Structure 1
């Protein structure tokens, strides 16, 4: 009896007084953009309060994750401007007042390093996608770490490491890798350090870190999002895209990134699986945990009314044989064109190589073999290169288009990732499997969504379809998320056996 009295007394002592703010608590991990917008419209939340909540988490949680390179000193000012717009009844839409983190190969007036100490002189202006976010009222919260040069410097690179930001950790198990190159964006979203983030992908750099960090990612159709002001690998494959904890948030962010009146959230119908035909590209036998999660996902599809068709995507060996040499040529051409637009930085690959050799940090973890190879690459007018690119793009498109047509499919589903590997500077990344290449090389959309776990480590599945089918793959990802809400917040475990 005395213990019950003591407990009641303690509760009275810590409870807020009757006149205190009784607004509902804010669960950052669970909240969606529509929920936050409704609360801001109702006056029970402000953008300043939301932004401060994320800044506090960055200050505390990110000490373990190391995903955020820099916080924008103007973030709270941006949030206050959003609150004033909303008070006047002039909110610009669902993204108004929502904090967003940007991968640091995306130019902002405050910087854009691609993780390299060679690019510490800020660019002249925001990238086009940043201008669109500002026009939508989003709060640019800061910049995230990445695999340096978007993982295109060394054959033995370690995802999530850069000379500017050091090593980003996977928030589920801290000695495991976050994958890359949008490592910081994926880890930060998983750790609830922003509502959403923007990543970029050439081949796997949005979907792999999304899968390994247990979040949603969309690699859009090539050209849907402007590449202006983004440090490139290849204009033939590069695209920015949204990363989020919820499919609806990825859809809303994608609408802002694309602009032009796009509204992807409108396409998220809950019954998309019923009556659908889904091809399943299992990539079986490489990892038992992945095989188990894929089978569980197949069961979800069938229980919710989808017809499942087992498929293999053809031409993968032929695509692999020509994609990389094409990218090497494109990297030299596109990167040097970008560097010439940046004052105060090296202007050629040769100058970058020399910078790295003289710098005390840049080559401390791995080398720059790809830089050396690209330095010797032929020009984009070279007939061999032109045939490589034509073959890669044509076969990648056929690998998806022909399978969709042959089986009358709506989408193809495949495992996004295997469980995260231990970060290892001696041996580099330890990829087991991925399914990003057909959509990446074809320029087609690819949406990944959490599907299960191997112990504490997330595994995602990806939905792919043809050119311009971004709304469709998001719709299927949202329906799967609703049918199998498996995602859980990370536990920041130091290690697992």
Structure 2
């Protein structure tokens, strides 16, 4: 959850960092001055020396296929890198826990390969999961100390899909606690259990949220790729500020069964990767109908199980792209990068036209009502069903009050309290709000605009360059372009489009429901035309002597 809560926050002048904490141990709540100033040179050298930095899934698979690499060696290399960059060095705090069975899983995949069984392009490839996704034998906590001892009995449906595809589950990533749905003054990337995740491009800059750890870890090559979740911006925003490709699928393409929820109407999981190709491979592995999540029935006949096959360097030729100008203007660097991106699309053969979304923002109040109602219902159901140590939202509120020193050192839980005050999902206020939000964002918004203007996709800047971390005042969020797709439940993909003084920025492609194949074509063609991604340098702060992009 991102834009709806943070648009009104004022700029602040105070820069602070939260201290690093030990993985899965004590919370990192204390304020400290930046401690990374002596680290960037060493971290940059290590990045250059790391054999798998920026290496894609196709290449990793090819090396294993040729016998040059084993899954065990690859998994061990990532675990060592997590220890040196996440636990030590720059202290990214991106990985909240590693899987104690990761090497055993890798050995099993190696044995299968030796026996002639290769499950697919993810066979033996280590993947990280956001810490709101059930994956045995690890805890699933949403970053909260209240659930630090919560060990689900079974895997989430998407985790079972990943394991069936041969992926090695490397560990869990830190996140904005409760996926940024506890307070409107939260600091993206902070959780009581995991501390503050840092941005590997500039360690004093926000990783955005709520899939903060997934973004920072993937950007830093702590794994081949990762899974994030989104309700409103939580895949697209952290992917944008970490120079990644992030795919927020149509709601119903990927099961939410086994994911700590916010909103049944908007929640989804999706890939976060360093390339469109890697994201397409990961998406292919996790789609599928699940009786445990009835909305996935809508994907029958619409899901594609090889999105990688839709990669097309010429995908922009003949495309008609609509530009949401009203979603620009919140940052000059993002505006300049957008203009360069639009020109690149024209050069690639696309027709680019300005369009307007007549319902823009009219869904905001209704969306918030929907999220409050659905969070209460969904989190109560998850906690009671999964056997968590706290079994209700009311219990979480009370736990936080009793443990305010560690759980609420900087921001409170007013969203929890507002949600708890809501009634049931059969109340007319909820039913009307849900209908209004989806209609204004989707049927009368994004989808209507695509159809009326005969568009292949709508584009906008994903968000501004990463802002300074400030736990005392919260996120200094300037604007976004992904909101319509989030509320409509339709797909969006962000791709790097440049940088501002070394801070990455992404463009977001949005389309109607089930248009992932076409969006992937467009995103891949754009990526191959621009090659805008740059690896992180783990700088202590943004280099103001660098280029604006």
1:441 deviates by 1.1
Listed as ranges, the gaps of 5+ residues in structure 2 are 1-48, 290-303, 545-549
Q: Is 2:282 aligned against 1:253? A: yes
Report the equivalent of 1:439.
485
Which residue is equivalent to 1:58? 82
| Aligned: 1:390 with 2:390 | no
* Cα RMSD for the two superposed structures: 1.2
Indicate the residue corresponding to 2:143 in structure 1: 115
Match of 2:157 among 115, 128, 140: 128
**CA displacement, residues 276-327 of structure 1 (integer Å, 9 cap, x when unaligned):** 1111113232111011000010011011111001112221231112111111
Query: Distance between the aligned counterparts of 1:262 and 1:382, measured in 2?
Result: 38
* Alignment gaps of 5+ in structure 1: 1-24
Per-residue CA deviations over 1:223-242 (Å, capped at 9, x if unaligned) read: 11111110000111000000
| Cα deviation code 1:3-29 (max 9, x no counterpart) | xxxxxxxxxxxxxxxxxxxxxx97423
Partner Cα separation in structure 1 for residue 219 and residue 358 of structure 2: 34
- The structural deviation recorded for 1:474 is 1.4
- The answer to whether residue 186 in structure 2 is matched with residue 161 in structure 1 is no
Q: Which runs of 4+ in 1 moved over 3 A?
A: none
Is 1:172–2:206 an aligned residue pair? Answer: no
Structure 1 match to 2:10: none
Distance 1:447 1:474 in 2: 8
Picking from 54, 60, 64, the partner of 1:40 is 64
Which residue number corresponds to residue 487 of structure 1? 533
Secondary structure of 2:361 counterpart: helix
> How many angstroms apart in 1 are the aligned matches of 2:397 and 2:153?
24
120-129 or 196-205: which moved more?
120-129
1:98 maps to 125
Q: Does residue 309 of structure 1 match 2:336?
A: no
Query: Which whole-Å deviations, capped at 9, do the CAs of 1:429-452 have from their partners, x for residues lacking one?
Result: 111111221111111100001000
Aligned to 2:378: 334
> Does the C-alpha gap of structure 1 residues 476 and 29 become closer, same or farther in structure 2, counting only changes over 3 Å?
farther
In 2: Cα distance, 1:32 partner to 1:84 partner: 23
**Matches of 2:358 and 2:474 in 1, distance apart?**
29
**What aligned pairs does 1:15-414 form with structure 2 within 5 A after superposition?**
27-62=51-86, 63=88, 64=90, 65-109=92-136, 110-120=138-148, 121-259=150-288, 262-282=305-325, 283-359=327-403, 360-397=405-442, 398-414=444-460
- Determine the C-alpha separation between the residues in 2 that align with 1:294 and 1:449: 12
Aligned-partner Cα distance in 1 for 2:396–2:93: 26
Distance 1:124 1:367 in 2: 31
Under a length normalisation based on structure 1, what TM-score does the superposition of the two structures give? 0.93
Tell me, yes or no, if the aligned pair for 2:460 and 2:482 is still in contact at 8 Å.
no
Deviation at 1:255, TM superposition (A): 0.5
Match of 1:455 in 2: 501
Q: Is the 8 A contact 2:328 2:461 kept in 1?
A: no
Task: Tell me, in whole angstroms, the C-alpha distance in 2 between the residues paired with 1:341 and 1:330.
Answer: 16
The alignment partner of 1:341 has SS state of helix
- The answer to whether the Cα contact below 8 Å between 2:144 and 2:178 also exists between their aligned partners in 1 is yes
Q: 1:15 maps to what in 2? A: none
Range moving further from structure 2, 244-253 or 341-350: 341-350
| Distance across 1 between alignment mates of 2:50 and 2:396 | 46
Q: Aligned partners of 1:317 and 1:475: how far apart in 2? A: 28
Q: How many Å separate the matches in 2 of 1:378 and 1:432?
A: 33
Q: CA deviation at 1:378?
A: 2.1
Contact 1:29 1:245 in 2 (8 A): no
**Distance in structure 1 (CA, Å) of the matches to 2:50 and 2:268:** 33
